[in-house]
Amino acid sequence: MDQGQQNLVQASFAKVAPNADLAATMFYDRLFTIDPDLRPLFKGDMANQRRLLMAMIATAVNNLHQLDQILPAVRSLGQRHAGYGVKGADYDTVGSALLGTLEEALGDEFTPEVCAAWTVCYQTLAGEMKAAAA
C-alpha cells in the first residue's frame, strides 16, 4: 500500500467512524444477505461483535503506516478465525460486504480511488489472515 492509498483509507474511515455502530450493523446485514450460511459463525452478542469489528478496523487503519507492527496481531486474528470455522472463501464475502458497506456509507465520496485503496488494504490484511490460518 502506498502513502496515497493509506491516506484515502484513513480519511474515508474517519468519515464512517463517528457512526461506527450503524456502519457495523450495515456490514453484518450485508454479510448475512450475501451469505446467510455465515450467520451461525456469530454466536455471541452482536452489539459486542459490532464494537470489536470497528475497533479492529480502526486499529488497522490507524496503523497502516507501520504495517509490520500490526501484522502479528492480524495473523493471530486469522488463526482464531480458522478456529471459529471461517474458510478461505469467506474472506471474499467479507471483502464484498465491507466494500459495499463503505460505498453505502460514503455515497459519492466512495470514488474509484477510495475503492481501490480499500481493496488493496483489505486484500493485504485478509491475505495475512488466510496465510496464518492455513
User: For residue 8, what pLDDT band results from cuts at 50, 70 and 90?
Assistant: very high
What residues contact 126, with CB distance under 8 A and at least 6 apart?
91, 94, 95
Query: Which pLDDT does position 40 carry in this prediction?
Result: 92
> 3-state DSSP call for residue 108?
helix
In 3D space, the residue among 89, 90, 83, 62 whose CA is nearest the CA of residue 133 turns out to be 83
Q: How many domains does the chain have?
A: 1
Q: What is the pTM of this model?
A: 0.93
Residue-number span of the structural domain to which 17 is assigned: 3-133
User: For residue 49, what pLDDT band results from cuts at 50, 70 and 90?
Assistant: very high
pLDDT in tens, 10-44: 999 999 999 999 999 999 999 999 999 999 999 88
Cell numbers at residue 45, please?
452478542
User: For residue 6, what pLDDT band results from cuts at 50, 70 and 90?
Assistant: very high
C-alpha angle with apex 48: 27 to 34, nearest 5 degrees?
25
pLDDT in tens, 88-126: 899 999 999 999 999 999 999 999 999 999 999 999 999
The answer to whether 109 touches 15, Cβ cutoff 8 Å, is: yes
- The CATH number assigned to the domain holding 82 equals 1.10.490.10
**DSSP state at residue 85:** T
CA distance 80 to 130: 11
Query: Which pLDDT does position 43 carry in this prediction?
Result: 86
CA distance 120 to 109: 18
Q: Which H or E run contains 133?
A: helix 112-133
